[in-house]
């Protein structure tokens, strides 16, 4: 009986239950917190792993692009030789059955198989093969990583990686075989980061033999030998291939957008220079959004007086991209400056900031290659070597991306100049500046070993040059510069200067450059001189970062290709027939339905847009387009654009269109009619097929 009472008392006694509840709750909360911490940590690890894997893939993809671009270079070289040989033979031959395509294809095959001295391809009775080791010379390998190439889906040592090449032929009218394309089968590329992350790519690479006739009238929107001007009319758009002697867009509120084809700006007349200039608050955007990708080829790019320049796709520039006061450039895709001269500023490609308040955005570029360098241009007036007035040759700098104030880095440091407190300085002596005034052994900056002027100039590496600017008849301003004998020594000096005075260079650049972007993750910067970008180090902190100079590849072949460009006007138009027209004569051509389809003018042709069916304007003088035009404009003069132009293939039968009196047909003035697609673009010459990655 007592036992029963005891249990009843125990059931009524609940002392300590709250403590148990608290402890259980705390354990549950701690377990939940631990689970959340573990989940967060695992998410971080997964994200980090994905990022590193993605970076490994982007690097591997860039290497594959290096190989493809190298083969494009070889294909361009083969095209140049094959085209020259075929044209030379065609002009000399009396054989009426001479097949230009067969001759062209045979020469192209021979030169491709001989690429890199025959080290890439081999051909015998058993077929054709490629050597992966030879292809590896095109690859730019990041520091710390390793890569290997293979064939057949494996990743062998490059010494033994021999892959199969399929060759495709057709038969010409005489029954002779001629090559149509080569296909490198299952090229394998494996890249391993220093931290062990790996990416693999397996792809076929196809090399097409293009049609010998490489221009197609129907693909053009504009041919304007003396250039295109856009200075009024607000917004305008061009869609289709364009060839122009120059391109000028100016004036607030005026903008020009180009897409859907290549834009080639190259000076061919005495008053054109191949320059794209955007100024006075105007804007220009090159889209490069055609099916096969557009290319911009130009002699020079300039954005000044608050002009805005934007490129996407692929841009190839023979000279500089120059940013003047308030100029803005936004580059995406790839940018290649291929002028590589160390002595001629007009043949050396760099990016130069010459005006205050400029902005440069390279954050969307996946590749920036600059084969040239910048040169010193001291503010205002010409510099002279001596009192006789001989103009100084250009002084090269160790930079491919440079701001005007950076030239101060190449002035001989003040501490090395005796008797003068600055550089430049006022000099009123008729004797000239004596080299004895320079102390070549003053330590410039600490290091191991310590560096002096002798360290950078002795042994033929460079010299001290004195340049004078006349202030008045008796007084000169004297600049004492370092001038290096080649690019390597200039690069080394500037790298050391930047290492010693990074804040000074940053201040130099901020004086002119309003904004400099970071580069994209995995983007490749390859330049003959040093370059910069603004690295975002987190917490809104930015740090000016130097990209050291490296060997510049393929500039020669790009220059060769640029040299091949010429105005297609004389290929498309029967100039002899056009010139026989009386000055000011304008002919209108109508189709069978009495629609106006074409205009041919000896002289100017302005606002000639009567009828929606107008598809072609040919003029020996200037042309002005004010409305929306769908067709092709061919002019030996200048095109003033106030509206929009959309290139359209010539309609069937247009060459039979005639004047109302039947005296002329359009075919009288056209020497190159519509043709099938051609494949002279590098992206269509050499491309990937059956791409896989893991």
What are the backbone angles phi and psi of residue 301, rounded to the nearest 5°? -120, 130
Pairing status of strand 425-427 against strand 476-484: antiparallel
Q: What is the percent of the chain where pLDDT is above 90? A: 24
DSSP secondary structure code for residue 174 in this structure: T
Q: Could you give the CA distance from residue 335 to residue 369 in angstroms, rounded to a whole number?
A: 6
Q: What is the rounded average pLDDT for all residues in the chain?
A: 81
Q: At what angle do helices 17-92 and 100-113 cross, to 10 degrees?
A: 130
Give the pLDDT of residue 560: 72
Measure Cα distances from 610 to 267, 515, 589, 598, 627 in Å: 32, 47, 12, 10, 10
Is the previous residue joined to 449 through a cis bond, with omega within 30 degrees of 0?
yes
SS3 651: coil
- Region of poorest pLDDT, from 2-6, 298-302, 476-480, 514-518: 2-6
Residue pair 230/237 in contact by the 8 Å Cβ criterion: no
| 127 DSSP β-pair partners | 124
Give the pLDDT of residue 130: 87
Residue appearing with tokens 């993809």: 61
Per-residue pLDDT at 234 exceeds 80: yes
Q: Could you give the CA distance from residue 402 to residue 405 in angstroms, rounded to a whole number?
A: 8
| 384 DSSP β-pair partners | 391, 468
Residue appearing with tokens 């490059």: 158
E strand or H helix that includes residue 455 = helix 453-457
What are the backbone angles phi and psi of residue 302, rounded to the nearest 5°? -135, 130
Q: Could you give the CA distance from residue 260 to residue 645 in angstroms, rounded to a whole number?
A: 11
The pLDDT tens digits of the residues spanning 612-627 come to 789 999 999 999 998 8
Sheet holding 639-641, edge to edge: 401-403, 351-353, 321-323, 300-303, 275-279, 247-250, 228-230, 639-641, 623-625, 605-606
Considering 327-331, 487-491, 591-595, the range whose residues carry the highest mean pLDDT is: 327-331
Residue pair 202/187 in contact by the 8 Å Cβ criterion: yes
- Region of poorest pLDDT, from 38-52, 400-414, 493-507: 38-52
E strand or H helix that includes residue 48 = helix 17-92
Residue-wise DSSP of 534-594: EEEEETTEEEEEEE---PPPSHHHHHHHHHH---SHHHHB-HHHHHTSPTT-EEEEE-TT-
| 238 DSSP β-pair partners | 258, 645
* Interacting residues of 96 by C-beta distance below 8 A, sequence separation 6+: none
How many other CB atoms are there within 10 angstroms of residue 639's CB atom?
Answer: 27
For 81, what's the count of Cα atoms within 13 Å in the CB-facing half-sphere? 15
SS3 138: helix
What would the mean pLDDT of 381-408 be, rounded to a whole number?
Answer: 68
Tell me the pLDDT band of 510, cut-offs 50, 70 and 90.
confident
Q: Could you give the CA distance from residue 33 to residue 80 in angstroms, rounded to a whole number?
A: 69
Tell me the pLDDT band of 528, cut-offs 50, 70 and 90.
confident
**Which tokens hold the place of 651?**
């309609």
Q: What is the percent of the chain where pLDDT is above 70? A: 83
Per-residue pLDDT at 266 exceeds 90: yes
Q: Could you give the CA distance from residue 304 to residue 512 in angstroms, rounded to a whole number?
A: 13
Residue pair 614/682 in contact by the 8 Å Cβ criterion: no
DSSP secondary structure code for residue 354 in this structure: -
pTM of the model: 0.69
**Which tokens hold the place of 684?**
């269509």
The pLDDT tens digits of the residues spanning 3-25 come to 555 555 555 566 666 777 777 77
| 229 DSSP β-pair partners | 248, 640
For 635, what's the count of Cα atoms within 13 Å in the CB-facing half-sphere? 27
> Where is pLDDT greater, at 613 or 645?
645
Measure Cα distances from 180 to 26, 561, 670 in Å: 76, 21, 29
Residue pair 445/409 in contact by the 8 Å Cβ criterion: no
Q: Could you give the CA distance from residue 484 to residue 491 in angstroms, rounded to a whole number?
A: 9
Pairing status of strand 623-625 against strand 639-641: parallel
Quick one: which of 102, 253, 110, 236 has its CA closest to 182?
110
Q: Could you give the CA distance from residue 103 to residue 48 in angstroms, rounded to a whole number?
A: 55
């Amino acid at each position: 009986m007592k036992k029963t009472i005891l249990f009843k008392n125990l059931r009524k006694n609940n002392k300590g239950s709250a403590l148990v509840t608290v402890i259980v709750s705390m354990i549950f909360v701690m377990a939940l917190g631990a689970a959340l911490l573990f989940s967060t940590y695992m998410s971080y690890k997964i994200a980090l792993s994905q990022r590193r894997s993605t970076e490994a893939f982007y690097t591997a993809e860039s290497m594959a692009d290096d190989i493809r671009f190298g083969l494009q270079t070889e294909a361009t070289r083969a095209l140049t030789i094959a085209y020259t040989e075929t044209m030379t033979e065609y002009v000399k031959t009396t054989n009426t059955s001479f097949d230009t395509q067969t001759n062209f294809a045979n020469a192209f095959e021979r030169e491709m198989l001989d690429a890199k001295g025959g080290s890439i391809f081999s051909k015998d009775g058993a077929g054709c093969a490629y050597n992966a080791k030879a292809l590896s010379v095109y690859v730019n390998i990041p520091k710390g990583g390793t890569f290997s190439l293979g064939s057949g889906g494996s990743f062998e040592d490059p010494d033994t990686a021999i892959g199969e090449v399929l060759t495709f032929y057709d038969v010409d009218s005489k029954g002779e075989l001629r090559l149509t394309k080569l296909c490198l089968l299952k090229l394998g590329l494996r890249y391993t980061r220093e931290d062990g992350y790996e990416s693999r790519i397996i792809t076929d690479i196809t090399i097409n033999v293009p049609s010998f006739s490489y221009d197609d009238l129907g693909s053009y929107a504009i041919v304007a030998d003396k250039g295109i001007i856009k200075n009024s009319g607000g917004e305008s758009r061009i869609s289709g291939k364009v060839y122009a002697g120059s391109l000028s867009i100016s004036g607030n509120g005026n903008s020009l957008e180009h897409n859907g084809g290549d834009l080639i700006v190259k000076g061919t007349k005495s008053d054109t220079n191949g320059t794209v200039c955007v100024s006075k608050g105007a804007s220009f955007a090159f889209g490069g959004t055609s099916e096969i990708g557009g290319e911009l080829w130009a002699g020079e790019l300039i954005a000044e007086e608050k002009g805005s320049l934007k490129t996407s796709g692929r841009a190839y520039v023979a000279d500089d991209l120059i940013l003047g006061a308030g100029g803005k450039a936004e580059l995406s895709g790839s940018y290649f400056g291929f002028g590589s001269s160390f002595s001629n500023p007009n043949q050396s490609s760099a990016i130069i900031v010459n005006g205050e308040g400029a902005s440069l955005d390279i954050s969307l570029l996946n590749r920036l290659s600059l084969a040239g360098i910048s040169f010193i241009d001291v503010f205002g007036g010409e510099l002279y070597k001596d009192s006789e007035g001989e103009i100084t040759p250009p002084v090269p700098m160790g930079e491919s991306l440079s701001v005007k104030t950076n030239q101060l880095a190449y002035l001989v440091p003040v501490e090395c100049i005796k008797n003068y407190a600055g550089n430049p300085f006022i000099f009123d002596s008729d004797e000239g500046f004596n080299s004895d005034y320079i102390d070549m052994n003053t330590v410039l900056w600490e290091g191991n070993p310590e560096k002096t002027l002798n360290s950078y100039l002795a042994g033929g590496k460079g010299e001290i040059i004195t340049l004078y600017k006349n202030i008045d008849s008796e007084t000169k301003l004297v600049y004492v510069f370092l001038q290096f004998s080649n690019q390597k020594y200039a690069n080394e000096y500037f790298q050391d200067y930047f290492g010693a005075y990074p804040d000074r260079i940053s201040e130099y650049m901020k004086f002119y450059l309003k904004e400099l972007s970071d580069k994209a993750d995995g983007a490749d910067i390859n330049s003959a001189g040093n370059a910069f970008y603004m690295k975002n180090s987190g917490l809104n902190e930015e740090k000016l970062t130097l990209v050291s100079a490296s060997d510049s590849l393929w500039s020669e072949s790009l220059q060769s290709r640029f040299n091949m460009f010429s105005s297609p006007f004389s290929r498309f138009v029967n100039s002899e027939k056009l010139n026989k027209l009386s000055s000011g004569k304008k002919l209108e051509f109508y189709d069978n339905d009495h629609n106006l389809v074409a205009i041919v003018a000896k002289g100017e042709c302005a606002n000639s847009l009567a009828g929606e069916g107008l598809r072609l304007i040919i003029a020996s003088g200037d042309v002005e387009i004010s409305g929306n035009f769908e067709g092709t404009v061919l002019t030996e003069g200048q095109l003033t654009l106030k509206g929009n132009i959309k290139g359209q293939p010539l309609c069937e039968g247009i060459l039979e269109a005639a004047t109302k009196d039947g005296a002329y047909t359009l075919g009288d003035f056209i020497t190159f009619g519509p043709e099938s697609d051609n494949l002279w673009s590098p992206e269509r010459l050499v491309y990937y097929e059956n791409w896989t990655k893991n």
